[in-house]
Amino acid sequence: MVNLQIRTATIQDCAGIQSVHDGTPGPWANMDECVPWIKKRIERGYYVQIAELDGEIVGHAEWVENHDPSGRFFYLSVMQIKPEHQGKGIGREMVEDGIRHAKLLDCTRVVTIPEEETGSDKFYFKCGFVNGRQIKSASIATKEYGYSQNYKEAEMAPFEVIRNNEFVFGLSQASARHMWEVCNAKPAGDNRVTHTLLSANGDCLQLQGMYNNPHKGWALCWSNNVAPAFVKDILTFGKLSGFDEISFDFFTENENLFCEFDNKAEAYCTELYKII
């Protein structure tokens, strides 16, 4: 496509980014949220990617390097193309450009979670992605069980936890780095409180209120010593933090942590990846 340019976004592109997301959920659909969000993502080292066709911004994506015990990969957290420009190969060009950036960062793969209900998983399959691990979700009422180890409260999770620990809970997107940013490097205007506990063993637990339900908490956990007791620790933490219910998102291999609870875990989504 001769007049297509894929480039890095600047803060001056926010009006164009907003137009790409017009009518969709998320922080990009209105300027009051889009500007601080894009500003924060640029400051935090995301590759905020723009597709420009004949001078018009028609596509937007955000990528971030994830480096944790599972390896180094480039994570695509969002991609949106204007409806009237879909099916023209623009998304494929953006993916290929993201892969070039990933190689410069010595990443071994690119990873994303598609919106299967929109059929976007079929697009990624055409780009050479394959199914990875399945993510499940469970919601459990809070209760005071008592903590299984000594914790101390902290203002935020240290950045090092995502380098040194397995990402156990919080996988609404399958990148420890991205989810750390969501809870610990919020853009202006996101006033949700994130509660944090740290243990002497280097474990980190976090709880954040859901966008649409402040009484329901969303759990994040980083640990190399994960055990069933962590679920009760988080439910206790939730009760003491004023939440009625906690939502857990996790890879299928950690479903055994919920054996003693009646709440059945449900399939949530599947990560897709491509080796590069």
pLDDT, mean of each 10-residue run, the chain (276 residues): 90 98 92 96 98 97 94 96 96 98 97 87 96 96 96 96 95 95 93 93 94 89 93 98 97 94 89 97
**Alpha-carbon distances, residue 56 vs 50, 83, 138, 203 (angstroms):** 10, 14, 42, 46
Residue with tokens 């949700």: 192
What 3 state SS string does 184-211 have? Answer: HCCCCCCCCCEEEEEECCCCEEEEEEEC
Let me know if the fold of 4-112 is the same as that of 135-269: yes
- Spatial contact of 134 and 250, defined as CB atoms under 8 Å apart: no
pLDDT score of 25? 86
- Of the candidates 87, 114, 93, 98, the one whose C-alpha atom is nearest the C-alpha of residue 62 is 98
For 57, counting Cβ atoms within 10 Å of its Cβ (0-12 exposed, 13-18 middle, 19+ buried), the class is: buried
- Spatial contact of 140 and 205, defined as CB atoms under 8 Å apart: no
pLDDT score of 255? 95
* The CATH fold of domain 135-269: Aminopeptidase (3.40.630)
The residues spanned by each domain of the chain are: 4-112, 135-269
pLDDT score of 189? 87
Amino acid identity of residue 173, one-letter, is: Q
The DSSP code sequence of 107-147 is: -SEEEE---GGGTHHHHHHHTT-EEEEEEEEEEEE------
pLDDT score of 224? 94
For 218, counting Cβ atoms within 10 Å of its Cβ (0-12 exposed, 13-18 middle, 19+ buried), the class is: buried
Taking the mean position of all CA atoms in its chain, how far away is CA 188? 18
| Largest pairwise CA distance in the chain | 63
pLDDT score of 1? 63
Kindly state the tokens that stand for 138: 């469970």
- Cα separation, 24 vs 147, in Å, equals 41
pLDDT score of 210? 84
- Spatial contact of 8 and 101, defined as CB atoms under 8 Å apart: no
- Spatial contact of 14 and 28, defined as CB atoms under 8 Å apart: no
pLDDT score of 142? 97
CATH number of 4-112: 3.40.630.30
- Spatial contact of 228 and 252, defined as CB atoms under 8 Å apart: no
Q: How many of the other CB atoms lie within 10 Å of CB of 84?
A: 8
